Amino acid sequence: MFTSTVSPDPQPGASTVPAAPSWNRQKPSGMPSHRYRPAHDRVEIPLTDTQREWPSRRLTTAPLWVPVDLRDGNQALAEPMDPARKRQFFKLMVSMGYTEIEVGYPSASQTDFDFVRLIADSGGTTTPLAPDDVTIVVFTPARRDLIERTVESISGIRNPVVIHLYTATAPTWRDTVLGKSRDELVELILSGASDVLELAGHLPHVRFEFSPEVFNLTEPDYVLDLCNRITELWDARPERPVILNLPATVEIASPNVYADQIEYMHRNLARRESVILSVHPHNDRGTGVACAELAVLAGAQRVEGCIFGNGERTGNVDIATLALNLHAQGVDPMIDFSRLDEIKRTVEECTRLPIHPRHPYVGELVYTAFSGTHQDAIKKGFAEHTGRAAETGVEESELEWRVPYLPIDPADVGRNYDAVIRVNSQSGKGGIAYLLQAEYGLELSRERQIEFAGHVQRRTDATGAELSAAQLYELYVGVYAVGPA
């Protein structure tokens, strides 16, 4: 029934390993890498060099972000969120500006069901949990009893709703998990889609979403045909578009492969103008963010992820990183991350998982320099920024940002400059001078900076520890026998 319409990947010599050059003396690791097959041998890659357009496109607007922390992130916690934490998290997301939020898997647990009911029952009261314009997404497998329960959960709700149906489509899942042939699986999914239509199709504010789970390992022509059947069955129209969400459920390949897969769907889907093309990357290879960015270049319009990348295994794609990557390119992220520390605290409280200190944009150390040459550059960059603001009469907070080593102004996300420079044995005169100037108003001559840096270096080498601004000042007063400023 399904015939291949796509060309094999043309990359010449993609599977051959060139002989190592003489300067590369690495030895074979002895690890059993032969047990794993490259992505190109596991799934057909649908585009060729002459077809793909995503490499020359640019990101100029934000896609629709849909946080799935309350479903996909929640299912990955040892202790799923209780109602109070779910509520707190939901309110946070609304306050940040999300307009479409996946709130749970109502057929999975009473807590998930009750949370959707809480949203439904509070609608129209003086204290609605969800403002009327926030779309609520509920998730269900393709099983009639579970679809019925899902539809029951949204009964009477005033908000726009998306019923999100999913079933895995990749060969290993078909064979090992679901025990279905290709045709049998299509039948199961279309039967689930018909149930959704029968039970909720008459509700005017309800739309539908389908996810072929493990899309990235599924035969391109098979999944394309399946998606087209769904949009036909659900009668996708511009005024009632269907969301087709194409997950990289378990990452298997470098992001260019996912981009090819998404662009193939983008170009070949029927009713394209009535389809919202969505992606749902995970992060098994650590390339979830890159996958999402290239997928948007390839035609995706909507991205599902978790605010700071929580989720099963290595997590879902990290929306904060994606959004702030756009911000750093001059594109409005359309979500407000200006109170980043408050958002971080709430998410940590709700998930009971700490955020890594090096997490892009969010971690407590990501706007901090310990090393001398970086500190020197930042100090000069701050001075240039202040000088340019005075010269041009433009507010510092509005002025083009050019400070070296700081991809964005920490103030944009509510951070101050207190921890930007910290001194230890890796530091140099510039960083030391910056701290003494910023904290104590001491302006040191270049000669004094060089000389005092020697004292600091001896102290930090001896102790191995960091020196705070107060400790630096104390040392300075001791060395130069000056009274407190």
Ligand X SMILES: CC(C)C(=O)C(=O)O
Ligand Y SMILES: CC(=O)SCCNC(=O)CCNC(=O)[C@H](O)C(C)(C)COP(=O)(O)OP(=O)(O)OC[C@H]1O[C@@H](n2cnc3c(N)ncnc32)[C@H](O)[C@@H]1OP(=O)(O)O
**Comparison of 76 and 259: residue with beta carbon closer to ligand Y:** 76
Q: Give the Cα separation of 386 and 389 in Å (integer).
A: 5
**Comparison of 73 and 431: residue with beta carbon closer to ligand Y:** 73
CA 118 to chain centre: 28
Contacting ligand X within 118-177 (CB under 6 A): 166
**Comparison of 144 and 158: residue with beta carbon closer to ligand Y:** 144
Contacting ligand X within 404-463 (CB under 6 A): none
Q: Name the residue with tokens 């690791």.
A: 29
Shortest CB 282 distance to ligand X, Å: 6
Shortest CB 143 distance to ligand X, Å: 14
Query: Choosing among ligand Y, ligand X, none, which partner's interface includes residue 245 (Cβ < 5 to 8 Å by kind)?
Result: ligand X
Which residue stretch of 7-15, 150-158, 242-250, 361-369 sits at the interface with ligand X (rule: CB under 6 A)?
242-250
Helix (H) or strand (E) holding 345: helix 340-351
Q: Name the residue with tokens 């083009």.
A: 400
Helix (H) or strand (E) holding 375: helix 372-392
What number of other Cβ atoms are within 10 A of residue 6's Cβ? Answer: 18
Q: Give the Cα separation of 28 and 31 in Å (integer).
A: 8
Shortest CB 162 distance to ligand X, Å: 12
Contacting ligand X within 268-287 (CB under 6 A): 280, 282
Shortest CB 214 distance to ligand X, Å: 6
**Comparison of 247 and 428: residue with beta carbon closer to ligand X:** 247
Shortest CB 148 distance to ligand X, Å: 20
Binding residue for ligand X, selected from 44, 69, 213, 263, defined by CB under 6 A: 213
**Comparison of 111 and 301: residue with beta carbon closer to ligand Y:** 111
Shortest CB 230 distance to ligand Y, Å: 14
Which residue stretch of 155-163, 181-189, 245-253, 461-469 sits at the interface with ligand X (rule: CB under 6 A)?
245-253
Query: Choosing among ligand Y, ligand X, none, which partner's interface includes residue 344 (Cβ < 5 to 8 Å by kind)?
Result: none
**Comparison of 177 and 383: residue with beta carbon closer to ligand Y:** 177
Q: Which residues contact 287 (CB under 8 A, 6 or more apart)?
A: 251, 254, 255
Shortest CB 127 distance to ligand X, Å: 31
Binding residue for ligand X, selected from 44, 45, 47, 72, defined by CB under 6 A: 72
With contact defined as beta carbons under 8 Å apart, do 161 and 204 qualify? no
- Rule CB under 6 A: which residues touch ligand Y? 72, 75, 105, 107-108, 141-143, 146, 166-167, 177-178, 213, 249
With contact defined as beta carbons under 8 Å apart, do 274 and 242 qualify? yes
**Comparison of 187 and 474: residue with beta carbon closer to ligand Y:** 187
With contact defined as beta carbons under 8 Å apart, do 281 and 251 qualify? yes
**What's the alpha-carbon Rg for the chain, to the nearest Å?**
27
Query: Choosing among ligand Y, ligand X, none, which partner's interface includes residue 141 (Cβ < 5 to 8 Å by kind)?
Result: ligand Y
Query: Choosing among ligand X, ligand Y, none, which partner's interface includes residue 211 (Cβ < 5 to 8 Å by kind)?
Result: ligand X
**Comparison of 72 and 318: residue with beta carbon closer to ligand X:** 72
Q: Give the Cα separation of 327 and 402 in Å (integer).
A: 14
Which residue stretch of 243-251, 397-405, 409-417, 441-449 sits at the interface with ligand X (rule: CB under 6 A)?
243-251
Query: Choosing among ligand X, ligand Y, none, which partner's interface includes residue 178 (Cβ < 5 to 8 Å by kind)?
Result: ligand Y
Amino acid at residue number 398? E
**Comparison of 262 and 469: residue with beta carbon closer to ligand X:** 262
Shortest CB 312 distance to ligand X, Å: 7
CA 404 to chain centre: 25
With contact defined as beta carbons under 8 Å apart, do 323 and 362 qualify? no
CA 52 to chain centre: 24
Please count the residues of this chain forming the interface with ligand X, following the rule CB under 6 A.
9
Shortest CB 116 distance to ligand X, Å: 17
Shortest CB 309 distance to ligand Y, Å: 15
With contact defined as beta carbons under 8 Å apart, do 274 and 306 qualify? no
Binding residue for ligand X, selected from 140, 159, 245, 325, defined by CB under 6 A: 245
Smallest Cα–Cα separation from 142: which of 213, 203, 235? Answer: 213
* 247 lies in the site for ligand X, by CB under 6 A: yes
SS (H, E, C) 408-476: CCHHHHCCCCCCCECECCCCCHHHHHHHHHHHHCCCCCHHHHHHHHHHHHHHHHHHCCCECHHHHHHHH
**Comparison of 137 and 453: residue with beta carbon closer to ligand X:** 137
DSSP assignment of 242-261: EEEEEEESS--S-HHHHHHH
Helix (H) or strand (E) holding 280: strand 275-281
Query: Choosing among ligand X, ligand Y, none, which partner's interface includes residue 143 (Cβ < 5 to 8 Å by kind)?
Result: ligand Y
* 208 lies in the site for ligand X, by CB under 6 A: no
Shortest CB 163 distance to ligand Y, Å: 13
Q: How many CA atoms within 13 Å lie on the side-chain side of 175?
A: 4
Please give the structure tokens belonging to residue 101.
């939020």
Q: Which residues contact 447 (CB under 8 A, 6 or more apart)?
A: none
Q: Write out the residues near ligand X by the rule CB under 6 A.
A: 72, 166, 211, 213, 245, 247, 249, 280, 282
